[in-house]
Structure 1
């Protein structure tokens, strides 16, 4: 059996967004426009750099024009025609760009300082367009949060305590926000330079059938194991999720295939949806691409992306290992088997197509050879195109190439709007100084207990990330919280990775878990209950960020011996935690065993050899309890493939 895109239940939208199906001359015009957007970005990034503000404004213009044309704002019945209001929004977006183009030399000096009336009008209209586009692409959560921050900028003089500030005039505020410190700041910079590039790479991976190869390879490798489709979901969604900009978008892409198969072998709908949500979310922390947040991290910290990519390897491994243990223990408890080998793609056939892995190998190699991220991504796109011609089934002709280029532009609209809207919040944080006040609060907590400061950071990062894609969640949380952690003595890379990890995990954290909600819809079950199950599956992963702090070798800092020992003890600790959560440890675990296993797992988080021995001793105690008072679920479990 070979799984192809045509055999899947494919949504008629990009990442869950309802899009218009434009036809005729208008449809052809915007199809060509989408192609030109991707080609223009690739050309400017590689061959003809322009002023950063102008490039970012062009990037936002492209996203706005395509977004207002393709994504309806309210009535979703007539999807074949662009509404008059949308045409006006497109026109307004074009006028704003033209104004920036002709006035950029003056705007650099007067924006946010001495703006003219026209500067103010352009800024406020542009900000409203960003909020509306974000509402259409991502719902209300991020625009509402942005409006709260905007209100805070004007209400500051009337607020108590650390929230108080002097306030700003409306002209100064909006001209500042619609400048290089706000909407056109670091978030849209990352979007314009990296996100579209790697969305294009993802589109070419799909068009060249590399994406289908990932899924087929996953089925062949893991489909026959107990609870096979769940393990396929973990592997396939991780591979696909690393090139996806959002966890929810990845759920829609791969979940339409994996969730029905999980239900078919016996997993409950809630568990099937939760597994897909957890797997898709993990793709955001999987090198070499890590969704898009890692590029933003590199810009915010000011270090090379290669260093971040290397540091993220072990945390990503631990995340997927932790979810694997959870779904494997569930399969043991439910006595689930895998798919029949006759139902799975043959590995010998897949080995003949191993050349389809070359684009990813090329990407990783180029990064490790110190090519720029832009050049590495471009080379990987070209590799996809070349590799596709090795076989008639994968060959990308003019039509497939054009569809991949247009699809990249359509898919990136949501992330452009998210990054622009997140820029509003980042700008308010910088303008009002609220980020520094939060940093002081964390410093105060850290002076009494570093762990307390970390727990507070975790909670705030998850809250800030709820209902938002990873890129926006990390941009906001990193701006507010990272300075405080750094000032309590945590290295910048460690602090940002800690925050990034929890910004990612917010996608499976109730009550607003966007990835779990998307998976629940596909599974046909209660989204909130699915989110609770996803949270349970990812519970072991919530411990991993603390390992960054207490075992720095997890981020590849230290000797080979230290790194190897940390990996070993961390995997053991995560397994014990999974056993405690699932209530199974070589048989059904009693509550006393689960408590012992939990304590053992927590002791193994610490990098100390002393605590490692305590953890192992406690694990042996839990095992002896099982032997002394046996209560196994089934004597047949050992006959099932792991």
Structure 2
């Protein structure tokens, strides 16, 4: 639901609309959606979708804070509601203004799909009515025996229709997508109703045919929504895993297993061993909580204040807008849990400003992508990564947060070095002060940082994460009353609506990741892969970590970082830990590389999102974002060699590794940018890279070598570029 663009900004200067304010106003015109399925709403459909989305958000907040539900029922409601809303949102998109006639084949497919889905829905409704309203112990025989196959076939035909005939006018809800929403209600409704019994019989010979057909329908719906919202890469990956569950007896070597029939496999997948496992457990709590918090910050324009303050403080400096992007994108990326989504949310403002001071479109998009991706590794939220890690490992949340502080800070320092050196090399200037927000005005509004301070303070005070996120949302609503964008009922409704829309992609991909996790658990491929990893590494921890890095990046190229980490941790972490690597080190290592896959060619989703905003070449942008974020590929090895970087050691050890790590990433940044005291030739760049890499191990000897190489480069450049005479 659109909010009218307000000419005022948080800066409060109504007489002079600066360049930043103009860009902000333009960005706010389309600030809400992140994808095509969230555009072009109007009329009754808009209100229907908005009310459903707001209700979805309120349901989650109520369950987390007021009225807890049984775990399975809550997670299934989270998945089912997300699927149904996702299909209706997709249906609400107008692809064209011209009316298009539906082909006879499409009409036939929809007729058959409708018959099957509606029959299946009637069967599930009869089961519900019989068991809940009439109180009968046994459901009607016809419903239990015959609802499933028509429901699954009808769902398959509706999905096929969507694949074959996607380009239709969407002036009203599309019949095929409404049918998919109904199929979702039927399949998930059946599983919720029989959740307790399903827990006992899932994956066993006693599983019922209805369990299988409802689960098959649910899996098809999850994969289809993932295709629509996240693309084909993850769909192909999950398709390979599902096929593997059935083809095991005919595969060679470690891939061979005894195989599973459909009834056992699909009923097993829809349990907390699969779809309802850690990814959905986190998606239904922490992810939706902090995505809604981000929606509150956007709706009240409190998030905009962070960007404006950064521009006021650093916008006039060399390469200022790029440095602002590092701060603002890192802060928001920490909260909203998706690298590409954060690029779109903050890049609509920062990328145009970088271009205005002389950064190439490609570089502007690359800086934004690197900074937004880095937000995923920044405590205390880490884009929900800390919560997933705590869930998987059993390590306390606060221990993970403390350990991640220095590596995250070093990453952002390295990105800052990259930006500053690039600005020096191109002799860039900052923006004129008269085109920037007034720092003295913004300082008076520093209370707008209260939501972040409340969040961090409550976390470190020991409150539950859910309570902390709720308090932070309340703080955002309260402080908005001191701005022109006070959160009244309309803005509150808008924030609840947008929170649901922003989280739907993550619901789909987390459920899909759960399918992969379920296959790994059922077939035991994770343990066998770990065994192979150990044999390839030949008891070498560093080789094992290298393989872990490669697998994490490859998995991350096909799915959002949250899901990539969950899958990679299931496959790789056990083997690495068996080699003697500390569990926290192993999981942080895997998590970092899963996150950095978003800026790693050839499939760098965050870089692609930035290139779309900047109008740059996607491939070149992905290569440059990889270069800018290069330190993230070094930092995990640093904390492997030096546990003190994870705050595991005496204070002087921690200080030593932190300082030398900063020097190391500075030398690497100079090597990448080709600029030290001046232009650096290839020989000098090679020496700088050698000096930076030598400081990875964190030992006194290796650090001494690095500093010695740096001193040699300094002396050489001083001789090559003497200071100009003062006379």
TM-score by length of 1: 0.96
> Match of 2:169, SS?
coil
Separation in structure 2 between the aligned mates of residue 410 and residue 479 of structure 1, nearest angstrom: 29
**Are residue 456 (structure 1) and residue 475 (structure 2) matched?**
no
1:352 aligned partner: 444
Separation in structure 2 between the aligned mates of residue 69 and residue 338 of structure 1, nearest angstrom: 45
- Which of 597, 615, 634 does residue 688 from structure 2 map onto? 597
User: Structure 1's 278 and 36: CA in aligned 2 closer, same or farther, altered over 3 A?
Assistant: same
Q: Which runs of 4+ in 1 moved over 6 A?
A: none
Point out the more displaced range, 9-18 or 571-580: 9-18
2:614 aligned partner: 523
- Which of 549, 558, 568 does residue 467 from structure 1 map onto? 558
Point out the more displaced range, 155-164 or 360-369: 155-164
**Are residue 39 (structure 1) and residue 58 (structure 2) matched?**
yes
Contact 1:20–1:80, Cα closer than 8 Å, also in 2: no
Separation in structure 1 between the aligned mates of residue 297 and residue 509 of structure 2, nearest angstrom: 24
Separation in structure 1 between the aligned mates of residue 646 and residue 688 of structure 2, nearest angstrom: 25
Separation in structure 1 between the aligned mates of residue 380 and residue 257 of structure 2, nearest angstrom: 42
Counterparts of residues 243-392 of structure 1 (less than 5 Å): 243-391=335-483
Instruction: Measure how far apart 1:98 and its partner are.
Output: 2.2
Separation in structure 2 between the aligned mates of residue 203 and residue 597 of structure 1, nearest angstrom: 43
Separation in structure 2 between the aligned mates of residue 256 and residue 20 of structure 1, nearest angstrom: 16
Contact 1:214–1:240, Cα closer than 8 Å, also in 2: no
- Which of 39, 49, 57 does residue 30 from structure 1 map onto? 49
1:478 aligned partner: 569
> Higher relative contact order by CA 8 Å / sep ≥ 6: 1 or 2?
1
Separation in structure 2 between the aligned mates of residue 280 and residue 565 of structure 1, nearest angstrom: 28
1:537 aligned partner: 628
Separation in structure 1 between the aligned mates of residue 430 and residue 560 of structure 2, nearest angstrom: 33
Instruction: Measure how far apart 1:52 and its partner are.
Output: 0.9
User: Structure 1's 524 and 121: CA in aligned 2 closer, same or farther, altered over 3 A?
Assistant: same
Separation in structure 2 between the aligned mates of residue 123 and residue 93 of structure 1, nearest angstrom: 10
Instruction: Measure how far apart 1:145 and its partner are.
Output: 0.5
User: Structure 1's 406 and 5: CA in aligned 2 closer, same or farther, altered over 3 A?
Assistant: farther
Contact 1:16–1:252, Cα closer than 8 Å, also in 2: no
1:441 aligned partner: 532
1:58 aligned partner: 77
> Match of 2:225, SS?
helix
Instruction: Measure how far apart 1:274 and its partner are.
Output: 0.8
1:496 aligned partner: 587
Separation in structure 2 between the aligned mates of residue 23 and residue 255 of structure 1, nearest angstrom: 26
Point out the more displaced range, 285-294 or 113-122: 285-294
User: Structure 1's 631 and 159: CA in aligned 2 closer, same or farther, altered over 3 A?
Assistant: farther
> Match of 1:243, SS?
helix
Separation in structure 1 between the aligned mates of residue 450 and residue 30 of structure 2, nearest angstrom: 28
Contact 2:24–2:349, Cα closer than 8 Å, also in 1: no
Instruction: Measure how far apart 1:508 and its partner are.
Output: 0.5
Separation in structure 2 between the aligned mates of residue 313 and residue 604 of structure 1, nearest angstrom: 19
Counterparts of residues 96-115 of structure 1 (less than 5 Å): 96-113=187-204, 114-115=206-207
TM-score by length of 2: 0.85
Structure with bigger gyration radius: 2
- Which of 225, 248, 272 does residue 180 from structure 1 map onto? 272
Separation in structure 2 between the aligned mates of residue 7 and residue 21 of structure 1, nearest angstrom: 17
Point out the more displaced range, 293-302 or 438-447: 438-447
Instruction: Measure how far apart 1:12 and its partner are.
Output: 7.1
Instruction: Specify every segment of 5 or more residues in structure 1 that has no aligned partner in the other structure, as ranges.
Output: none
